[in-house]
Chains A and B, each alone.
Chain A
């Protein structure tokens, strides 16, 4: 019996389990592309002149560089990629990582793997089957994306190169998840680790593009090295609509080979159900701090918060350290001065950077809130909650414990970001005062009322519809992300954009903090939280 025996059957099993999920993912991504191409053509691409204006302004726009990427020139395809590539790449990366974890670590956690392993299947069959399905899904996705772009009349070479880059990014992240599924000892942990990797690699390219030099034509960005540390960055460097850099696919190939080799290496060297770290013995008695419903929530939430804290501190330090270079670069650019006057009314250049980064990290903290509160659903689904509610723990107190921890965690994350940004800023910028540390720490708290609305909404969904809670909470998050990224471009009605709590928060510190929306958002949080507590009190507990 070979190590791959039974792979074919497991592929069919995975496809059977995913017969709805995977087509929905693929069609949603392709559908998004089909909406975006004509919208972008209409708004930016109708005349040569409007395309040049777009390329000139975005090349020198910090926000566009951070969220979009390095524009290469005034071609319609380049404009499309600048508007959509980063977002699409993250969506495709999540499709792949969730898929891999679902068919590897999640099976181990639920005990399904033991039955499979006891049947006629090889040691590597499960991992190989998951990877095969991921590769297949990404190839189908890339094919459909290429057809969509070609269908809207975009140049053939650029369409194919861009679509292939999407597929390659998806497969790279399938490789990442294949490793995290070995390293973590739970499906939730593996997904969290994979999501953090996606986040870090996205941020690498954001920093690399943000620090990039303005091209001599004033319409392109030459990214710096951090962009080259990230598969998402590689995809953006191909610039298929100008002179496609096919050699980059060699990088993708090397990444995929190394990642999968590492995953197989780890897979062969660990026991089923366990992670890489050997289980150590622990205390025979519980510490007094654990002995309450709140203590348990703290213990269960701790690891998630520590992981996210690292990301926020790294991002803060990076933001602070690059602030001086940004200032020098943008002051030397006349286009940028124009741009700044347009949006900030002659504000401090550093503050524009800080506002953009605080907005970005505010939405990122929204992902932490949703991730952290999912713990409630996984506690229920795994059967951990049932014996706890069999004791004299009150359901509402239990829920409030988790919510309070995640709310405090959000506060800590944003404060850590502001603090580390401030410290790094004071270190590199002579004109900065110690007071800037405090000012930035406080400013970074501006988004908290908005983030907590998302958290209370996520808790409400858990209280009302437990089985759909995970999917719906992430949908809420993606909606907020989507309208903040594409609301203007797609001319989404203001009424819909305003559903997102983030839409009501002004860019602090370049604009002053607004108390009225913050108070209203806090009111909304309290209402949603009350609804969450009521609905959870009234329903049955439901396991998997």
Chain B
């Protein structure tokens, strides 16, 4: 597989999508490199599914530029779709077809599917393909869509919250499958709410909120932007901490100090504390949760 710099599977720039007066996407940017698993995160209603639908040519962009596998997803939808597989966020299947029929149908409409792979996936996901779709639970309907997508040999997999109805065992199977795709050099765009899943699978992440991209990068790059929480108790009362740059929510009460510190200021802050004889020190590294909460929560001004 040729992988040159700038060889991106998806490039979205300043994408705007309006529904009447409502602006769903408001200048969104998203870049997915070939061969990476890219996490696409954001709170409910942020515009993840809308973005994916624009990428599939199901919705028409209002403005901005969108490039998918080097083509225009609106103009070249049919040709591009031969090279990708899609799992929708809410899987609705024809009630009177069986799961097996739906899998074969999607595979054929995409241009064919690997029968051996399908059989293996059915086994791994423990899915009975002879049942009518109307009798499947939400999780089983999702498995149908997943098996149909994963059994197709394509370049790009677009998965919109594909595991929201799966149990932990199946979640593990799903993660194995994605790791296999990564090894094969496939590109995956994975929209998700499950932080552990994103942490385990994604090479890079894009976080959006209210139709705008707020962060994008590798997990460690994103972590870099967050702060470590430090709680310290000292022998002598702490003074002058506010002179150290990069500290937030600083609270000093006599022998106790609590603050959040930006990653590149940790050293300076600790050196300052050492002057007051540290007796106890608790430092919590930034978790992915903190990262999300930082972006998901509305700022006080927005809350009104």
- Complex interface: stretch among B7-15, B31-39, B108-116: B108-116
Pairwise interchain contact B110-A391, C-beta atoms closer than 8 A? yes
Q: Is B93 an interface residue (CB 8 A)?
A: yes
Pairwise interchain contact B134-A291, C-beta atoms closer than 8 A? no
Pairwise interchain contact B104-A286, C-beta atoms closer than 8 A? yes
B142 vs chain A, min Cβ distance (A): 12
Chain A residues 294 to 316 lying within 8 A of chain B, measured CB to CB, are 295-296, 299-300
B62 vs chain A, min Cβ distance (A): 10
Pairwise interchain contact B130-A392, C-beta atoms closer than 8 A? no
Pairwise interchain contact B95-A283, C-beta atoms closer than 8 A? no
Cα of A273 to Cα of B133 in the assembled complex, Å: 13
Pairwise interchain contact A283-B86, C-beta atoms closer than 8 A? no
In the complex formed, the residue of B with least CB distance to A396 is B78
Q: Is A9 an interface residue (CB 8 A)?
A: no
Pairwise interchain contact B129-A390, C-beta atoms closer than 8 A? no
In the complex formed, the residue of B with least CB distance to A539 is B60
Pairwise interchain contact A292-B106, C-beta atoms closer than 8 A? no
Pairwise interchain contact B77-A389, C-beta atoms closer than 8 A? yes
Say whether chain B's binding surface is mostly helix, strand, loop, or mixed: mixed
Q: Is B81 an interface residue (CB 8 A)?
A: yes
- Complex interface: stretch among A205-213, A378-386, A422-430: A378-386
Pairwise interchain contact B81-A392, C-beta atoms closer than 8 A? yes
Pairwise interchain contact B58-A383, C-beta atoms closer than 8 A? no
Pairwise interchain contact B129-A284, C-beta atoms closer than 8 A? yes
B20 vs chain A, min Cβ distance (A): 11
Q: Is B242 an interface residue (CB 8 A)?
A: no
Q: Is B226 an interface residue (CB 8 A)?
A: no
B268 vs chain A, min Cβ distance (A): 52
Residues of B within 8 A of A541 (CB): 53, 58-59
Known: A186-B95, A392-B109. A386 touches B130 (CB 8 A): no
Q: Is B187 an interface residue (CB 8 A)?
A: no
Known: A281-B131, A540-B60. A387 touches B101 (CB 8 A): no
B53 vs chain A, min Cβ distance (A): 7
A48 vs chain B, min Cβ distance (A): 61
Pairwise interchain contact A283-B101, C-beta atoms closer than 8 A? yes
Chain B residues 60 to 99 lying within 8 A of chain A, measured CB to CB, are 60, 77-79, 81-82, 86-88, 90-98
Residues of B within 8 A of A280 (CB): 132
Q: Is A293 an interface residue (CB 8 A)?
A: yes
Q: Number of residues in A with C-beta < 8 Å to the partner?
A: 37
Cα of A279 to Cα of B82 in the assembled complex, Å: 34
Pairwise interchain contact A283-B88, C-beta atoms closer than 8 A? no
Pairwise interchain contact A286-B105, C-beta atoms closer than 8 A? yes
Cα of A25 to Cα of B130 in the assembled complex, Å: 44
Known: A383-B88, A387-B145, A392-B79. A286 touches B56 (CB 8 A): no
Q: Is A388 an interface residue (CB 8 A)?
A: yes
Pairwise interchain contact B105-A281, C-beta atoms closer than 8 A? no
Pairwise interchain contact B59-A540, C-beta atoms closer than 8 A? yes
Pairwise interchain contact B86-A185, C-beta atoms closer than 8 A? no
Known: A285-B104, A387-B86, A387-B88. A393 touches B130 (CB 8 A): no
B60 vs chain A, min Cβ distance (A): 6
Q: Is A274 an interface residue (CB 8 A)?
A: yes
In the complex formed, the residue of B with least CB distance to A299 is B97
Q: Which of B58, B81, B101, B145 contacts A286 (CB 8 A)?
A: B101
Pairwise interchain contact B57-A290, C-beta atoms closer than 8 A? no
A464 vs chain B, min Cβ distance (A): 15
Residues of A within 8 A of B44 (CB): none
Q: Number of residues in B with C-beta < 8 Å to the partner?
A: 43
In the complex formed, the residue of A with least CB distance to B80 is A392
Pairwise interchain contact A392-B78, C-beta atoms closer than 8 A? yes
Q: Is B275 an interface residue (CB 8 A)?
A: no
Pairwise interchain contact A392-B82, C-beta atoms closer than 8 A? yes
Residues of A within 8 A of B102 (CB): 286
B184 vs chain A, min Cβ distance (A): 21
Q: Is A498 an interface residue (CB 8 A)?
A: no
In the complex formed, the residue of A with least CB distance to B131 is A281
Say whether chain A's binding surface is mostly helix, strand, loop, or mixed: loop
Q: Is B221 an interface residue (CB 8 A)?
A: no
Among A279, A286, A296, A389, max chain B CB count under 10 A is at A286
Q: Is A282 an interface residue (CB 8 A)?
A: yes
Residues of B within 8 A of A292 (CB): 108-109
Pairwise interchain contact B101-A282, C-beta atoms closer than 8 A? yes
Pairwise interchain contact A388-B109, C-beta atoms closer than 8 A? yes
Q: Is B23 an interface residue (CB 8 A)?
A: no
Pairwise interchain contact B100-A285, C-beta atoms closer than 8 A? yes
Cα of A539 to Cα of B53 in the assembled complex, Å: 13
Residues of A within 8 A of B96 (CB): 185
Pairwise interchain contact A290-B134, C-beta atoms closer than 8 A? no
Among A284, A285, A300, A541, max chain B CB count under 10 A is at A284
Known: A186-B95, A291-B105, A392-B78. A540 touches B110 (CB 8 A): no
Pairwise interchain contact A389-B105, C-beta atoms closer than 8 A? no
Q: Is A394 an interface residue (CB 8 A)?
A: yes
Residues of A within 8 A of B59 (CB): 540-541
Q: Which of B53, B78, B108, B135 contacts A291 (CB 8 A)?
A: B108
In the complex formed, the residue of A with least CB distance to B118 is A285
Residues of A within 8 A of B87 (CB): 387
Pairwise interchain contact B95-A291, C-beta atoms closer than 8 A? no
Q: Which of B79, B106, B129, B135 contacts A387 (CB 8 A)?
A: B106
Pairwise interchain contact A185-B109, C-beta atoms closer than 8 A? no
Residues of A within 8 A of B19 (CB): 540
Pairwise interchain contact B97-A392, C-beta atoms closer than 8 A? no
Residues of B within 8 A of A186 (CB): 95
Residues of B within 8 A of A386 (CB): 53, 58, 88
Among B90, B103, B108, B158, max chain A CB count under 10 A is at B108
Cα of A539 to Cα of B93 in the assembled complex, Å: 23
Q: Which of A384, A390, A391 contacts B94 (CB 8 A)?
A: A384
Map CB proximity to B onto A384-425 as digits: 1 under 8 Å, 0 otherwise: 101111111111000000000000000000000000000000
Pairwise interchain contact A540-B98, C-beta atoms closer than 8 A? no
Q: Which of A273, A282, A391 contacts B106 (CB 8 A)?
A: A391
Q: Which of A282, A391, A394 contacts B97 (CB 8 A)?
A: A282
Cα of A539 to Cα of B87 in the assembled complex, Å: 22
Map CB proximity to A onto B257-275 as digits: 1 under 8 Å, 0 otherwise: 0000000000000000000
Q: Which of B56, B110, B130, B134 contacts A185 (CB 8 A)?
A: B134
Cα of A174 to Cα of B219 in the assembled complex, Å: 60
In the complex formed, the residue of B with least CB distance to A383 is B92
Pairwise interchain contact B56-A390, C-beta atoms closer than 8 A? yes
Known: A389-B57, A541-B58. A281 touches B88 (CB 8 A): no
In the complex formed, the residue of B with least CB distance to A274 is B134
Q: Which of A291, A383, A393 contacts B90 (CB 8 A)?
A: A383
Mind listing 17 A-B residue pairs with CB under 8 Å?
A: A185-B95, A185-B134, A274-B134, A279-B132, A280-B132, A281-B130, A282-B100, A286-B97, A290-B105, A387-B87, A390-B58, A392-B111, A393-B109, A394-B77, A394-B78, A395-B77, A541-B53
Known contacts A283-B98, A383-B88, A392-B78; can you find 11 more A-B pairs with CB under 8 A? A282-B98, A284-B98, A286-B97, A286-B102, A290-B104, A390-B86, A390-B88, A393-B78, A393-B109, A538-B60, A540-B19
